[in-house]
Amino acid sequence: MTMTDSARSGRHGVLDGVRVADFSRVLAGPYATMTLADFGADVLKIEPPLGDDTRHWLPPIDENGMATYFGSVNRNKRSVALDLTDETDRARALRLAASADVVVENFRPGVMARFGLDHDAVRAVNPAVVYCSITGFGDGAGAALAGYDLLVQAVGGLMSITGDPDGPAAKAGVALVDVLCGQNAVAGILLALRERDRSGVGQRIQVDLLHSLLSALTNQAASTLATGTPPRRLGNEHPSIAPYALFRAADRDLVIAVGNDKQFRALSAALGLPDLPTDPRFASNADRVAHRDELTAILEHRLATAPATEWVAHLSAAGIPAGLVNDVAEAIAFAERLGLDPVVELGASRTIASPIGLSETPADYRTAPPELNDAHPAAWLTGEELP
């Protein structure tokens, strides 16, 4: 994918005309502001003189030498470098915030106040501003805690339920909490813009990594609240469904995700094990959960007779949710085969497309991630075309 239908047709994005002064860095904030930019917002990324830290997180790099970490969350933006410890640059930054519809920042609580750029200071010169603060642990008792994704996965409970039962706790393979928090920031910003459309009143949005994770724990958190017993690590198995796990075939692993008795009967038939559904150990989902180890042994004994690709094709044809354990390259190729157009190419930059599909105002991929300080603040203030 090199250009969206909206770009070819000249249609405007749903957020066309919305200005975003983006003081955020690393992942959660930049992910949020890139989402806004993909749908038409004019995002000015305000960076320190040396740039966002992720500009220096390399390798890997793209063909232009840009860190792919930085590139993954900064397309469709322009950059201006300002030293917020310098009085003149702070004044420029305040003017940028005063002209913005949305301000996004993810400094530790109190830092933006020291710069004279906190919500109260910006609202004094821009009463309708939608001001989004992203923190690790809120601005109360947790204000001093560093909001690193790994730390939040640990103290937020995710690592306690991730990994093999007899092994150590494990983190997710990506900074998942940052991404979740960035998505929550987008939702909050859009809700606040909707209220401003109705009332003309701006407001402050506060999202934090810990609360974002706790919310995303969904059924695991609900189970803990209802029973008082925290869930334990189950590896790749599900606490409430079986068979819903990773299984070994003759050559590699595959996943089978059976969610109800009908699917289990179909699975049993497809594997040539028609008596399984009448076995008292496996007659209902509750029975299968109670006897999951015995069921896994039976299924893997059968799956060991053929390669995983053959089983996936056979089971999928029978309507049973099954798939290979793809690496990231295989996952992208799989999405391409399904016609999902997952890759955006903007010059040397290749990133994953927005997961949000709008029929009338789709995402618009206009520019590659910016070089540091590629814009001039005066041009953004006056609305002139930036270089």
CA distance 326 to 332: 9
Q: Which residue among the candidates 42, 101, 178, 208 is catalytic per the annotation?
A: 178
CA distance 179 to 191: 19
Annotated active-site residue 86? The verdict is no
CA distance 156 to 209: 9
CA distance 167 to 3: 46
Backbone angles phi, psi at 181, to 5 degrees: -65, -40
Judged by phi (left if over 0) then psi (alpha if -120 to 50, else beta), residue 17 lies in: left
Sheet strand arrangement including 102-105: 77-81, 42-47, 19-22, 102-105, 130-135, 203-208
Instruction: Say whether 300 sits in a helix, a strand or coil.
Output: helix
* Amino acid occupying residue 48: P
User: What is 67-107 written as a DSSP string?
Assistant: BHHHHTT-TTEEEEE--TTSHHHHHHHHHHHHT-SEEEE-S
Pairing relationship of beta strands 102-105 and 244-248 according to DSSP bridges = unpaired
Residues 268, 274 contacting (CB under 8 angstroms): yes
CA dihedral over 112, 41, 344, 207, signed as positive or negative: positive
By annotation, the residues acting in catalysis are 178
